[in-house]
Structure 1
Amino acid sequence: MSAPLSLDSSLVRWSVPPAERGDRPVLLLLHGYGSDEHDLFGLVPYLPSEFVVASVRAPLAPPWPMPGASWYPIEGLDGRDPDAVTRAARSVLAWVQDVVGDAPVGLLGFSQGGAVALQTLRADPDAVSFAVVLAGYAAGGELPGDAVLAERRPPVFWGRGAADDVIPAHLIDATAQWLPGHSELSGRVHPGLTHSISQDELDDVRAFLDARLADRAAAG
């Protein structure tokens, strides 16, 4: 396994200044292929204000002329190497350890970022409280954290569009088989939705995140 790449902390967009963060829970946004830290940051007004939201930029540059950044290379429909997804996940974990500290962390990722969100949860179940996966999938292979997830079943929301033809069908099928045994799964397939995010899906995400805040309050 290659060493994790570094995430550039100077490129992170935060929803609140440092003085207001304290020990509030952090929601880390992981964008999709060819995008950047500005993309998902537009979701902040739709998310619970109790979270400190941090939107990071992926560490790789996709091949020209594709703009933006990427978490791992994509070469054709089957060119999604699980080891490359794990490398990206370990980059996220290293950034969380260096920057976030002891605050509880949840992940919200779109497409590539969704795959990295799940892989980060798999790589270190102790570092991540939950994951929101939008138009993403679970990478193949096995990780040491899988057995822990099967026992703990952390909350995961998986939302996707019925008209999304970007993620290969075999990855969707594999994810649908893997997630129920490794998480407390919720989510929805939205009719007519393509490889994007709808208002209905955002409403589902908001309800999921509100439930996570309620869980935290109940735990004291």
Structure 2
Amino acid sequence: MASDLDPAVVLWSSPVADRAGRPLLVLLHGYGADERDLFGLVPYLPDQFVIAAVRAPLAPPFPSPGYSWYPIEGLEGRDPAHLTAAAESLLRWLDAEAGEGPVGLLGFSQGAAIALQALRLRPGDFAFVVNLSGYAAPGDLSTDAALAERRPPVFWGRGARDEVIPAPLVEHSVQWLPGHVELSGRVYPGLTHSVSEDELHDVRVFLDKQLQALTGA
């Protein structure tokens, strides 16, 4: 079992008193970062969301900084079982901390892979996922058929020059995602393993669309 997330280090965009009844957007950082990394995006995201940036539970091997959701070193790198365990730790945190409103996930790299794995584990629990420079884990889960039936919206943005995510994982995601989710997104020319202004604009358009669907406004 992966270590549980620490609620004491979660960054929230709104105090507890202002969260009731609002949709929750959870930010999941990438390898070697922490909860402060994606929290810097808050000014670019719709303020109708309550936004929570969580910290991954593992510390990468020295001298790597920050935290990670699963190990990527050696022969065990990117083992789907590790992704599932990390996604389950996220689900336990959500069970304890999320309110009654709808929940969306936005992850970068490792965090995006965890967001997609959490969606697969509980297809009915999430309104949408934003996958930035991530991938769908290989292998089958017993809940994949339910996901394919629900087909929740997923935005996938990635750089054409991203050399961090192995090509076989990208190709698997290209083949797998359209059969299980309502996929939209874009490949950004010249972009490496990072997030661009154009991508942030597209994410904002996607999130505004999801808010309209959730609130009817």
TM superposition score normalised by structure 2: 0.97
| Residue identity in the other structure for 1:117 | A
Which residue matches 1:103? Answer: 101
Which residue matches 2:29? Answer: 31
Q: 1:189 aligns with which of 187, 190, 194?
A: 187
Distance in 2, Cα, partners of 1:206 & 1:18: 24
Distance in 2, Cα, partners of 1:157 & 1:40: 17
Which residue matches 1:62? Answer: 60
Which residue matches 2:210? Answer: 212
Which residue matches 1:148? Answer: 146
Distance in 2, Cα, partners of 1:21 & 1:157: 25
Distance in 2, Cα, partners of 1:154 & 1:25: 16
Which ranges in structure 2 are unaligned for 5 or more consecutive residues? none
Following superposition, the deviation at residue 78 of structure 1 comes to 7.4
Following superposition, the deviation at residue 4 of structure 1 comes to 3.9
Which residue matches 1:176? Answer: 174
Distance in 2, Cα, partners of 1:14 & 1:211: 23
DSSP 3-state at the match of 1:38? helix
Following superposition, the deviation at residue 76 of structure 1 comes to 4.8
TM superposition score normalised by structure 1: 0.96
Q: 1:164 aligns with which of 162, 165, 176?
A: 162
DSSP 3-state at the match of 2:89? helix
Residues matched between the structures, number: 217
Q: How does 1:3-82 map to 2 (within 5 A)?
A: 3-76=1-74, 79-82=77-80
Distance in 2, Cα, partners of 1:95 & 1:179: 26
CA contact (8 A) 1:36 1:57 kept: yes
Distance in 2, Cα, partners of 1:6 & 1:79: 20
Distance in 2, Cα, partners of 1:50 & 1:118: 23
Distance verdict in 2 for CA 1:98–1:24, change over 3 Å: same
Following superposition, the deviation at residue 101 of structure 1 comes to 3.2
Which ranges in structure 1 are unaligned for 5 or more consecutive residues? none
CA contact (8 A) 2:25 2:50 kept: yes
Poorly superposed stretches of 4+, deviation over 6 Å: none
DSSP 3-state at the match of 2:93? helix
CA contact (8 A) 1:61 1:69 kept: yes
| Residue identity in the other structure for 2:155 | F
Distance in 1, Cα, partners of 2:70 & 2:134: 14
Following superposition, the deviation at residue 50 of structure 1 comes to 0.3
Distance in 2, Cα, partners of 1:31 & 1:90: 16
CA contact (8 A) 2:13 2:52 kept: yes
2:138 paired with 1:134: no
Distance in 1, Cα, partners of 2:154 & 2:75: 25
Distance in 1, Cα, partners of 2:154 & 2:145: 16
Distance in 2, Cα, partners of 1:64 & 1:58: 16
Q: How big is the alpha-carbon RMSD for the aligned residues of Structure 1 and Structure 2?
A: 1.3
Distance verdict in 2 for CA 1:174–1:215, change over 3 Å: same
